[in-house]
Structure 1
Amino acid sequence: MRLHRLRISAFGPFAGEQEIDFDELSGAGLFLLHGQTGAGKTSVLDAVCYALYGSLPGARQGQNATLRSDHAAPNVRTEVCLELTVAGRRLEITRQPPWERPKKRGHGTTTEKAQSWLREHDPVHGPRDLSRSHAETGEEITQLLGMSKEQFCQVVLLPQGDFARFLRADAEARGKLLGRLFDTRRFAAVEQRLAELRRRSEAEVREGDDRLLAMAHRMSQAAGDGVELPLPDASPGDPGLAGRVLEWAAVARAGAREHLTGAEIRRAEARAGLADVRRSLDGVRELHRLQQRAAEAAGRAATLEARSEEHRHDLNRMERARKAAAVAPALGLYDAATSEHRAATAAEERARAALPHAHADAGAAGLSAAARAALEELGGLESARRAERRLTALAGERAELARQEGADEEVQQEATGWLDGWEERRAALQDRVESAQEAATRAEHLAGRLEPATRKLTSARRRDTLAADTERAERTLLDARQRAGDAHERWLALKEQRLLGIAAELAAGLTEGEPCAVCGATEHPAPTRRDTDHVDRAAEETALTVHQEAERDRSAAEGQLASLRAALTAARDEAGDEPAGRLAAHVEEVRAGHAEARSLAAGLHAAREALARAEREHQHRLGVRQETATRATSRSTARDALDRERVTLEEELAQGRGELGSVAARTSQLERRAALLTDGAEAARAAQDTAERLKKADAALADAAFRAGFDTPDAASVALLDDSAHRALQHRIDAWQHEETAVRAVLAEPDTADAAGRPSADPEGARRRAAHAERRADDAVAAHDRAARRCVELDRLSEEATSEARALGPLRTEYERVAGLAGLAAGTSADNDRKMRLESYVLAARLEQVAAAASVRLRSMSGHRYTLVHSDGRSGRGRSGLGLHVVDAWTGRERDTATLSGGETFFASLALALGLADVVTDEAGGVRLDTLFIDEGFGSLDDQTLDEVLDVLDSLRERDRSVGIVSHVADLRRRVHAQLEVVKGRSGSVVRQAVRG
């Protein structure tokens, strides 16, 4: 990285625009930045850092409010612009922080947003904008430099105070600084990751142990009183816990099986005792049953003896009922005849009560003759009934004519109302048809405009895409050209270096006694030796191959760019310069109008159909109105005919009605009289017939009772039983006989007779003894089942515990491995002799590199007296591996850097800063740092030491570096010829640049 030019405006103490030409200052190799205290020397370095990273270095970062100069005019913008070359690219970075400016209109101020510009100066195409984003600019610069802001401030803006503190700091402070510079967060992350894995593995092992202990408790609960064995005394995480749990489980299973064997023996004994008790209970129960049977039979025999008289009465009653059964048919006929005669007599009385007074005492023949006369008169009224029905029909027809007349009037009014608005309706429908036709015409016109507009929009979008692709292709071409140029220079440099060392390459092929290919001599007393940086033919050819590949890439990039530019030109010719957004809006407007017109035009067919339907309806309404007028004339003629027929029928009906109001009333009167006379005649004949049948039934009943042995028919009726009484009596007789037979059979049984002579049985005591035996057997069976279930449960839990222990084995092995690695990385393991953490180990290696690089310059500054060495020893309780000592060549002893004097501390810290810059630069990918700044500390040196320090700094020019010294020391103004002076004043500071010959 080389700085070329810095332009500052309204920044810090600088009120106006100040420009610094670093190219002129760097030409001398060493330049001085000096000025009065508070003039703004450090602000120059702040401006460099702000331009690169967008913030101030160190403790001044985050103070954007102080970036703007208090001396600047209100309308002057705060701005920092830096030109530099990094990674072979010349860049220009411009940053403007937010600032308050006066409003262009009115009073007051407004806030301008922060802005950034990143440009690249191409020697072929001139300046080119790369980015206007703060984030993109910062990311691009960080990638090119390969350093963060903190690293840049440590290796480019060398703050001597920080390195003096670094020399005297403890291991923790050194670790923090080195950690920021070398970004060892990934190693700390490895430590944390290992610690996290250890905690996770430990948690998994503990969870497995917890599950094993839980299973042990469950097995203990399952074992119950069957196993007298305490649980193993262990905690989760204890080594060997799984083995102790499995051993305890084996002992528990053995105890449970022993308990099961005892339970089986006790169950068998209880079952045998229960069988004996049950056999004894069965015998007692049988004896008790037989004794009860004998006692019951004796009681039943006594009951039969007490009911013997009642049984004889039932037998006599059954005999009389059998005799009366022969008289039953005659009794039935007599009862039926009596009932029929009573019913017929009652019906005759009712029928005669309804007859006219003139026929009340007539016989059956007289009543029949009167009924026939009424029916003959009724037949003569049929003509009058037809006339009456016709009058009713005439009324209905006349009502129908009235209804038709009303309906036709409604139809006539509706047709007239519809026809009154016909002209307006027809005009509206015609307007609708014309509007749809106009919309169809407009849709066709817009469809013709839509397709060209869509093509133009597609071309515009392709134009914008090709423009972005062209910009990327231009950047790719610039990169390809840069790589091709670098490869070409590399090949030429290697070729030149090989030509310079060609003598050594030829000398390598010389053989003693063989002639030289150049001079022909056969003796080769002093052939040229190859040095360490010798370039052979293979290296040159490799560089040539790289150069040719880079040229091919450049040609391909040029071809790609030419194709894109041609396509872009074609797209621009077709789309023009109008933005795609505006074209898209136009297309959407045309498309919306086209859709609207199509929507309106889609109703053309419907509008035409509606007009045609309306015209057909108009013709229909005219026809309806004409038809209703014709029907009205026909109805008037029909109404006159109906009136004439009605007069004729009314005259005929008056003769048939007589004194009653209607023919129907007269007809009803005659029908009722004929029916009453007919009913009276039939009732009189029925009464006469039933009286004859009753007389015959009474004579037959008296004869049947005498033959059956009864004195009177009433005696036979009393002895007769109905079916239910007969069944009940027969049931009592049969039951008495069956009971007598059963009792005699029981009393004749030998077992029953024997049981009756034995002592009374005690079934309750036998049941108590059996219940006691059953409880003992049930308890024994339950105990056996519990023991069996205990064995099964212990076997199951033991299998689960064994599976858990097997699964826990790899987890415990993984935990031990991860725990060992975590302890080793954290410095807590016994294998880590120095108790050094992984991050500290990496930082110790970096510190060793820094000490080695710093010692090269420290020996020159101190007259080959001092050398910095790295120490792995621990200081007190702090971390080990970050010790830093100085070796004094005069005494040959190693001592702490805190024992150096002020001047010695300065050049030691300067050497450390330069060494750190070299190491960080290599760590960042080998980015060249061609411009360095050293801030203060020179006032503590004597003249001789100052000369030695300046010689070391001046030697940096051999590596094409320029060093800027920031100091108040007046003697440096005499010794350093290139100077940049910062002069402060009331209106702000200014810079003065001078280079003396």
Structure 2
Amino acid sequence: MRLHRLTLTAFGPFAGTERVDFDRLSAAGLFLLRGATGAGKSSVLDAVCYALYGELPGARRSNGVRSDHAEAGLRTEVVLEVTLGGRRLEVTRSPEQWRPKKRGTGLTADKAQTLLREWAADAGEGAPGWVPLSRSHQEAGEELTRLLGMNREQFCQVVLLPQGDFARFLRADSKQRAELLGRLFDTGRFEQLERWTADLRLRHEREVQGGRQRVHALLARAEEAAGPLAADAAAHHPGEDAPIAEALAWAALLRVDAAERADAAALRLAAAEAERTAAREESERHGALAEQQQRHQRAQQERLRLTDLAARTAPERARLEAALAAEAPAPLRAPHRAAQAALAAATAEEEARRTALAARAAAAGWSAPLGTAEELQAAEGLLRAETGRLEAAAADEARHGALLADRTRLQRKHEAAEALAEESRRWLEDFAERLEQLRQEREDARAARTELEQLDSREAELQQQLGSAERHLRLLGELAAAEDAVRARTDAAQGARQHTLDLQERRLAGMAAELAAALTPGTPCRVCGSPAHPAPAEPAAGQVTADDERRARTAQHAAEAELATAARQVAALAADAAAAGAAAGGRTAAELATAIAELTERQQQLRQAADRWLPLGQQLERLERDGAAHREQLRQAGEQSARLTGQLNALDAELTDLGRRLAAARGDAPSVAARAAAVTALATATTAALTATRTTAAATAHHRDTAEALLRAARDAGFPDLDALAAAALPPYELDALRGKFKQLDADLELAAAQLADPALLAAAGLPPAETGPARAAAARADDLLARAHRTAHEARSRVADLARIGRDLAALAAELAPVLDAHARISRLAALLAGAPAENALRMRLESYVLAARLEQVAAAASRRLLKMSGGRYTLVHSDGLVSGTKRSGLSLHVVDAWTGRERDTATLSGGESFFASLALALGLADVVTDETGGMPLDTLFIDEGFGTLDENALEEVMDVLDSLRERDRAVGIVSHVADLRTRIPAQLLVRKHRTGSTVHHTTREDA
């Protein structure tokens, strides 16, 4: 991952649009992001995270991204150009935000937007450009996360290294470390594995219970088949939960009891088998005698044939014995031949070396004798001494060349200083005029900005009046409609009142009939008081009752209430219309719209001039800074030119002196180096010739020794000289053939003699010829007797057949259940082990904790490589999996090993500076481990946030060396800090300045700092 450019608009502390050129910053490999506290250094990193993931890092997620300094109509936006997986992408993100309505008053919401584009060589019509990929938040987020290979939590820990988090991580307890490691590494699958093993253990338990039920079913069948035998063995019957071995033993006991009942039949069968065996042995004895007598005859014939063959091959046997005698001195022949070859090679090498030496001596003009070894050794000493003197002169020659290069470099610097001075003088010629012009233009922009603010206020006022005028017109229409409704409801209320009065009159007219309907014989009348009712009134058609009157009165009240409500609405609308007309200033909506249009046109004219205020300020600030830089450059160039002139004069004097000494040293050679090369080559050739002479002498002595040893061995073997020895020798293949031939012949003779001397064969040859017919007849009679015994025993064997079959079924079931029981035992132990049960897990460590401990061990190992360098070889981090007290997790402890004392101690004992570079090493180590875990995505841009202020000068130097090593393979490292010492160490810098109106960013160099 490499960052290229970042554009921020109305984001965090930045009120306007700010641009960060990471390509420019990354060119040096290491760059500094600095600024005052609260200026917005970390907000630059927040913008990178927001562009890639749509969220801010960690604890700042709740702060929001909208700048409080930004103008209401300026949209918040972050644009990041980045290379991921070899693809150059541009991601643009805007959050949901509120802006003033274009018409009327109030605010309206702009939805969040995301745009992902990719740079293509052929974006259309054969030209390169940006090609849109997606406008979906989810789709763009999934594509970016896939290319990055890590989630937002991992990205913030790996790319944006937060020092404060790792200082806390360094001193945290096991639970806090587990929370961080669990967020970075996906360990949920190991928790799922724990649940899976627990479920598997339950399934195995059910399978074991089913197997036990099948065993007990077979035991019931065996008990049924045994009949009365089962009663005798009832004391040994296995229980419900007894092991399978006890069930097998009980079944075996039943089979033994049944087998004892068949022993008598088995004894009778054994007697028949013994009789048949005796008959067969007799038959076999007669057959063996016949076979031995035949073998004795064949052995006699074979011995006669082999004796004749041995007599015919006697000359070849003599030749073999002579060749075997010549084998004794054979091991000495190879060293003798090797010595001859070595002597010839040494002689040729000596001649070649002496020829080369003669050529070198003639070329170098060497006249000393070079014949014997002593003369060569003396010449070698003289030449080595001369080489030493020329090496000293070569140093002067190298110094002379270096001085010439220094003079050329100083001359170029002198010319460059003069050119810089001239450039600064030309640049400063019209500096005052340009500065005054920019100041005037910025003042004009400020005036336009002030007038624009006044017009914005006037526009808001006119917009409010336009809204009031439109509301007045709308309320007048609603008032007319409400007055029509009042008139309609007035007619309805009057009609309901008249209907109620009519019903009252009709009820009064028929009141006599209503009272008569309530009379009861014997009850006094409520009008006259008489208990007799001779002629009660009869109700007329359409008689009105009290219920009819109540319903009419209810309808009347409802109509009157609706009329009152409508009247109140008319009064309210009239009041609102009057207020809206007053708020509109007595002007119509058309008049106000015309005034707003004229005002908007003037605002557009002023906004073009006002928008230049901030850029002109930046230009003015940049021009003043450039003017100061050129004045300083002019002063430094003059000082440097004078200093370089003095250095050039001193170099010229030293070069003259060295030139005189070198001329004397090189003599006729073109250079001291050429003279030294010729002398060195002659010395090397002399050494080679001396070595070759000594090698030839040694080879001559060795050849003489091997010849004498070989002659002595030949005479000891019975040969008068070496020629006789060579004549007796045979080729290996012929010697092996003869040796094998006579070895086989001797073996065959020994075998024939052994067979003829065999006592059994001799005894058999002395007996009468064997008779096999009667013996075979007796064996047949014994076979018939055995068949009858088998038929007698068959009934006894059938009695135990059922128990034997059941026993086999039970044994097969036991064999089938054995792996199930073994698997159940293993999975039960495994489930207990993964769950951290003390009986199986001495460390009381669950599987998820064990995996996190392994990750922590990797992080500690990766961190120690950098911590050793930052601490000057003193400290290393080690992971501890020892038990901890209470209910805390084991395996997540960190210790620091102090090489000065050789002891481990708690990381909390480190000082402030030591804690910083220990936490930095942890952060970098964790970055390495997470990067490997997520597929090894190359991270070409890293950021390190704060913490350098706790370091002394030496520690800062060690940390800077480690950070320099991070730049390998074209990697860029950004440091976020306000430590002053870093400004002089890091040339490329991004300065964040804070102002009352919002922060700005500026690309600076070390000189600007």
Give the TM-score category using the shorter length: 0.3 to 0.5
Q: Which structure has the larger Rg?
A: 1
When normalised by structure 1's length, the TM-score is 0.41
